[in-house]
Amino acid sequence: MESQFVLGRVNTADTKFHHVLASLPEDVAVNLPVDINSYAELKDSVVKLFQKSNNEILEEALGAISLDGEKPSVCLVRTRRKLAECNFTLGEEIIKHRLMPAMPIATGTALWEHTEISLTQTAKLADTVYSYNEETAVADVSSSPVTNTTPQLRPSSSNHRQENA
């Protein structure tokens, strides 16, 4: 909008106010306070209508915690980075509470009770357990006996009669 005002050489706040107000969709305009009198107030009100709440931002940062094939420590760093981008500081217990369910059950269960170590140490320990579980799973698959699942062909009854004749 600001660029359009520059290109159109619109300089006064009053002209900007009426131009923006006239161009707002009705569903947006009806949700604005009725006592707006200036372009700055109008602009702030429209921004606030579309701005995410702190709860929405927090849920976005924490709600999608998943390993996605990453080590738990990498997931922790990614989660902390998202929180920092949103200017949130959360206690380790809250982050741990959201991170543990993202881990494989065996890894999360083994680490849940380790309250004496920091979250960073827990994530590093989880890397080790996670890697061990992955290696064990690969070893289990490679050592399982292979069964022949190819169906055996039987001669049809007409072929069987010809051989006996």
The more confidently predicted of residues 130 and 156 is 130
Question: Counting every residue, how long is the chain?
Answer: 165
Tens of pLDDT, residue by residue over 105-126, are 777 777 777 778 888 888 888 8
Task: Kindly tell me if the per-residue pLDDT of 91 is higher than 70.
Answer: yes
Question: Would you kindly state where each structural domain of the chain is located, as residue ranges?
Answer: 2-50, 54-141
pLDDT in tens, 44-71: 999 998 888 777 877 777 776 777 778 8
How do residues 9-32 score in pLDDT, each as one tens digit? 888 888 888 888 899 999 988 989
Rounded to whole angstroms, the Cα distance separating 127 from 134 reads 10
pLDDT of residue 38 exceeding 80: yes
* Phi, then psi, of 62 in degrees rounded to 5: -95, -25
pTM metric for this prediction: 0.48
